[in-house]
Structure 1
Amino acid sequence: MQYALNLEYIEHTFYVEGLEKYNAQAFADAGYEAWVWGRFRQIRGHEATHVKFLQSQLGSAAPQPCTYSYPYTDIHSWVALSHTLEQVGASAYLGAARFVDSKDVLSASLAISHIEARQAGWVSAAVEKQQPWDGNFETALYFSGVWSLAVGFIVECPSTNPPLPVQSFPALTVSNSSPLMGSNITLSYNKTGIDTTTPTYMAWYHDMNVTYTTIDENGVTTVPYNLRGTVYAGAVKNETITTSDATMLSGLAIFNFPYNSYAVVGA
């Protein structure tokens, strides 16, 4: 639950800061209907409630908020980042569910996860005019993969915060986060301490599936077909599907394959 609270802090602070910076008139000037700003204020309230709930469950064991930084430059990029945060949040809760022993905690986690997924769908479909879902299933993400994304927003945390039992892998940089399927992309990450003489692969996480593509000696891999919506990918040692950190070489990158109401990607 400390892990979940840390993620909720990132989301809640994002909405607090963003909605202080961009008021209703700013949204209108950017071309959004008045109700869009109102809905984002409701989402801010949801995230505040999630934070309070987790704090109440953890009591004195609750970590304190960190200092955060978010890579948006205008309202449109803020909206896009909102979609990303909600999508990752839903995937994080879903991936953590299998490791929860308490049925009460599991029920609460899934209740939050469903709201995160619905919020992501609303931002994508109603605000960005893209797909309301990514496929037949939500994509589960596991602890270190999610945390490797989360640390990109963290500037500094209180020294009194308890350490989390997760590992942060090197950030993965890709040449194109909205590539065409079948095209080549170049990726890079810090390979210090990694055996570069053995084959490596890109693991693409979508729906309940993992698709692997080979990474060549120049860091080039081919984007697989049959991807839709938000897809996560990271460099791994082999083609073994696992929920642990055993095969991970890098953190995750987020790819977007938007599709229209006819489910045609890129249309």
Structure 2
Amino acid sequence: MLLSRTFALLAAAIGVLAAPQLVTRDATKPSDTEVLQYALTLELLENAFYTEGLDKLDEKAFEAAGYPPWVRARFEQIKGHEATHVAFLNTALGAAAPKPCTYKFPYTDPKSFAAVAMVLETVGASAYIGAAQLLDNKDTLTAAASILGIESRQAAWVASAVLKGSAWDGPFETPLSMDGVYSLASQFIVSCPSTNAPLMVTALPALALAPAAPAAGATAKFTYDHTAVTAPGPLFAAWFDGVGVQYTDLAADGSAGVPAGLQGTVYAAVVADKAGSPTAQKLLTGLATFQIAVGSGDANL
């Protein structure tokens, strides 16, 4: 499946690219300004992806890939949305706004472009959901929720109309912490201007799964830098799907069972504690992400 192959390609890229400046977070909650700087960093990445991709892939490329003209036209609309988000956050932050970074995106044609778009939109929606609890100003929270709604709609359109999958994963979207989102977004970032303020995120060791898209009930192998992950007790594989987290034991060889009931976009990480919600996790590794197909609900489809 194209989307699964794209997730695998993204996983292979972790650790290859450099990162923006970071600061190690303590127990202090980020300020609204720091949360918006993080949000703008993500929006700049999305804006660069659509601008670069649609400059490279013209109407003929989409036609040759089997897409009708309206597919590329709607990607152009999404590009406009991301540019508007960037302008809005730039205005809100003023002189504190970060500048664009240098990026590298793993696509070669319209089909792989669409698959990367699906990853970016899905992770973007999860980023806004996870960061909502950090915002104090209610007007800022409302604006962030408005952007979240569009990111989620865009993800649904790419997933269903373009990639012919499900428009949703289940009854809940997955909220992700700033650290978790950054571990995924940094795969696309080569370098950033030294004048950008350090992001309030902690860099985490890269995580890869084998197979890259394991099935529920199967066994997956977790590969990461063991010298960078220390904990006094046992380690667990945490599986994020919606607003809940499932855990399985992580064996000494890095293997863990994939729990039943997962579907759609799934995120996995190594943790030492079984916290209650996805954003309450203290991640010991970055996130790995993969897809478990959502049934059509109709045997005739």
TM-score range, shorter-chain basis? over 0.9
Shift of the alpha carbon at 1:54? 0.2
Identity among equivalent positions (%) equals 48
Shift of the alpha carbon at 1:121? 0.3
**1:140 counterpart residue number:** 175
Deviation string 1:189-212 (CA, Å, 9 cap, x unpaired) is 112243377321111111111001
8 Å CA contact 2:207, 2:287 repeated in 1: yes
Say whether residues 1:66 and 2:101 are aligned partners.
yes
Where does structure 2 lack aligned partners over 5 or more consecutive residues? 1-35
Deviation string 1:27-74 (CA, Å, 9 cap, x unpaired) is 010011111000100000000000000000000110100000112232
**Per the alignment, in what secondary structure is the counterpart of residue 35 of structure 1?**
helix
Find 1:184's aligned residue among 206, 215, 219.
Answer: 219
Letter matched to residue 236 of structure 1? V
Work out the CA distance in 2 between the residues paired with 1:223 and 1:21: 39
Question: Against the structure 1 CA distance between its residues 31 and 212, is the aligned structure 2 distance closer, same or farther, given a 3 Å change threshold?
Answer: same
Work out the CA distance in 1 between the residues paired with 2:52 and 2:91: 23
Find 2:114's aligned residue among 66, 72, 79.
Answer: 79
Say whether residues 1:172 and 2:207 are aligned partners.
yes
When structure 1 is superposed on structure 2, of 132-141 and 188-197 the one drifting more is 188-197
**Per the alignment, in what secondary structure is the counterpart of residue 249 of structure 2?**
strand
Find 2:234's aligned residue among 195, 199, 203.
Answer: 199
Q: TM-score, normalised by structure 2?
A: 0.84
**Per the alignment, in what secondary structure is the counterpart of residue 40 of structure 1?**
helix
8 Å CA contact 1:177, 1:256 repeated in 2: no
Q: Which has the higher contact order (CA 8 A, sep 6+)?
A: 2
Say whether residues 1:50 and 2:88 are aligned partners.
no
Say whether residues 1:106 and 2:120 are aligned partners.
no
Find 1:240's aligned residue among 263, 275, 289.
Answer: 275
Letter matched to residue 133 of structure 2? R
8 Å CA contact 1:8, 1:50 repeated in 2: yes
8 Å CA contact 1:201, 1:237 repeated in 2: yes
8 Å CA contact 1:86, 1:119 repeated in 2: yes
8 Å CA contact 1:151, 1:168 repeated in 2: no
Say whether residues 1:128 and 2:186 are aligned partners.
no
Say whether residues 1:151 and 2:186 are aligned partners.
yes
8 Å CA contact 1:230, 1:257 repeated in 2: yes
Shift of the alpha carbon at 1:178? 2.2
Q: CA RMSD in A?
A: 1.7
- The 5 Å alignment of 1:245-260 reads 247-260=282-295
Work out the CA distance in 1 between the residues paired with 2:243 and 2:228: 31
**1:228 counterpart residue number:** 263
**Per the alignment, in what secondary structure is the counterpart of residue 126 of structure 1?**
helix
Letter matched to residue 69 of structure 1? K
8 Å CA contact 1:236, 1:249 repeated in 2: yes
Where does structure 1 lack aligned partners over 5 or more consecutive residues? none
Work out the CA distance in 1 between the residues paired with 2:84 and 2:186: 23
8 Å CA contact 1:204, 1:231 repeated in 2: yes
Letter matched to residue 215 of structure 1? L
Letter matched to residue 6 of structure 1? T
Shift of the alpha carbon at 1:86? 0.2
**Per the alignment, in what secondary structure is the counterpart of residue 88 of structure 2?**
helix
